Structure 1
C-alpha cells in the first residue's frame, strides 16, 4: 500500500509537468513559429479595410526596388522593398512592421513618409514575408538585421544621408531595441508606436488576458524552449533595457485604449529611455490604431517631432 501511494505521489507531479510542457510547446509554436500569410486584422479595425487596401494599391504603383541582405545564405536571406522619394532626397526612413505582418502591411506609413519627402525602406523581418527564418524573434534578432539595412542605406544613398527608424507594435519594440545598439551617425531619430516593454511581460499579459493562464510555469518553459531553438531566453528581449542605453531623440506613440500592448508599457519604455524624448498618448485609439483615427493629425505630430530634431539641411 505504501509503495502504491509513493508511486502515485510521484506520478501526479510528473503528469502535471508533462501537461505543462505539452501546452508550452503548443503555445511556443502558436506564438513564435512563422506563418506564410498575413492574418486577418482585428474586428475593431475592419472599418479601415478600404483605406488600407488603397494604400497597398498605391504602393504597388510605385517604382519599388527589391533590396536583399545575405542573398547567398539561405538561412539568413532577408528581403525589403525600397521606395525612392518623389525627388532626390538625402532622408530615408526604415519602417519596421508588426507581428506576423510584412513590409507591405506598412503601406500607409510608407505613403505618409513618401508625402513628407522621404525614401522609404520596408523590410520583411526574419520569419516574415519573403525573408528567411523559421521563428519570429519579436525584435531581438531583428535589431541586428536592421543594422545591415542601415549599412545598405548608407552604402547606396551616401554617407551624408539621414536615417529615421520607425516601427509599430512589434516594429515599435524593434526600433526601441535598436536604440541600445551602437548605431552609425546617419541615424538621427526613432519613432516607436505601441511597442511592448519586453516580450516576457507581453507574453505573460496576453496569457492572462486571452487564455486565462498564469505566467508560471508557462512563460519560463516557453523561455527555455526559445533558448534551445533560438539561442536566448525571453528575459533577454527587453525594450526597457535597451532604451536605457539610448541617446537619440525618440518619440513614443501609443493609443490610450490599447489592451493588446497596455499603456503601462508605454510608461515603462518612456521612463527608461535616455536622450531627448517625447510622448503622445492618442485618445480613444486601440492597438496600432493611432494612425487610422486621424492620418493627418498623426502626420502632423510626426512632422513636428522630426522638424525639431532632424531639420531640413
Structure 2
C-alpha cells in the first residue's frame, strides 16, 4: 500500500495544479488595454470625444455587494424618465458601450454605462461570467431606481458576457427591466468552454478537463458552470427580449442565441445579422441593427404605452 501513496499523491497534486491552471485561464482572462480600446473606438468613428465630453453626465461609484466599487457614468441629455443600462463583454470596458449608448440617446433615452468587476475602473479580482456580475447589475439597477424613482422606464443591453450577465440577472435575480437586448450571448458556459477548447487546444480532451474545471471553480469561487449558463434560467424571464447575433460569429456560435430564443417564453424577437464576427453585429450591420432595435422598441412601447 505504502508504495502507491507517492503515486496517488503525485496524481492528486497534478490534478489540483491542472484544475487551478484551467480556472485561471478564464477567471483571469487577459483584458484589452484601455488605451487600445479608446483609440479603436475613436479611429472607427464610434466615439467622438468632444461630443461625449459635452454630454451632461455624472460619474458615480456604486457599492458592489461583494465589497468593491462599481464605476458608472449616468448620462442624461434627454428629458423624461427613460433609461438604458449597458453591459459590456469580457476584456472590454464601458468605452465599448458608448456606440450603443449613442444609438439610444438618439431615440430619447438616457443611459448608464459601467465597468464590470475586474474591468476598467471597477474593483473585483476575478471575472465570473455572470455569477457575481449579475448581482453587480442589480446594484446598478437599484442605484438607477434610487435616483429616478420607481416609475423609471428602462431597458438593459448586453454584449457577449454582458448579455449572459443580463439574462442571468433577469432569470434568477429579478426581472425588473421593462425589456432586454441580448447581443451574442452564450447559452451554456460549459459548452462554450468546451467549444473554445476544441478550437484552441485542438485535442479531444475537453470532456475530461471540463469536469475538473467545474470542480475547481466550485472550490475556488463557490459556483459551478451551470450557475453561469443562461439556458438554465431563460424560461423565467417574462419581459420582452430582443436576441441579436451575427451569423458568421465563430467565437460564440449563433446557434446558442437561437436556442435561447426558442426557450424564451412570451414576447421575444430575433435578429440574425448577415455580416460580422463576434460582437460585430452593430459595427458591420448598422442600418439593419438599428431597424431591428426600432421595431422592437415600437412593439414594447405599444404594450407599455410609452412615448
Aligned to 2:199: 209
Secondary structure at the counterpart of residue 172 of structure 1: helix
Task: Rate the CA distance shift 1:197–1:116 in 2: closer, same or farther, 3 A.
Answer: same
CA distance in 2, matches of 1:143, 1:308: 26
Q: TM-score, normalization: structure 1?
A: 0.86
CA distance in 1, matches of 2:107, 2:286: 13
CA distance in 2, matches of 1:225, 1:91: 42
Please give the residue correspondences for 1:174-193 in structure 2 after superposition, counting only pairs within 5 Å. Answer: 174-181=165-172, 183=174, 187-193=177-183
Secondary structure at the counterpart of residue 217 of structure 1: helix
Task: Rate the CA distance shift 1:220–1:195 in 2: closer, same or farther, 3 A.
Answer: same
| Total equivalences in the alignment | 302
Cα displacement string for residues 235-260 of structure 1 (whole angstroms, at most 9, x for unaligned residues) = 21110111111101101000101111
CA distance in 1, matches of 2:208, 2:13: 11
Aligned to 2:295: 304
Q: Pick one of 65, 68, 71 that aligns with 1:76.
A: 68
Task: Rate the CA distance shift 1:244–1:74 in 2: closer, same or farther, 3 A.
Answer: closer
Contact 1:82–1:122, Cα closer than 8 Å, also in 2: yes
Q: Pick one of 189, 202, 206 that aligns with 1:199.
A: 189
Aligned to 2:269: 278
Q: TM-score, normalization: structure 2?
A: 0.87
Aligned to 2:23: 28
Secondary structure at the counterpart of residue 171 of structure 2: coil
Aligned to 2:58: 65
Deviation of residue 101 (structure 1)? 1.3
Computed over aligned residues only, the root mean square deviation of the Cα atoms, in angstroms, reads 2.9
Gaps of 5+ in 2: none
Gaps of 5+ in 1: none
Deviation of residue 61 (structure 1)? 4.1
Contact 1:59–1:111, Cα closer than 8 Å, also in 2: no
Aligned to 2:151: 160
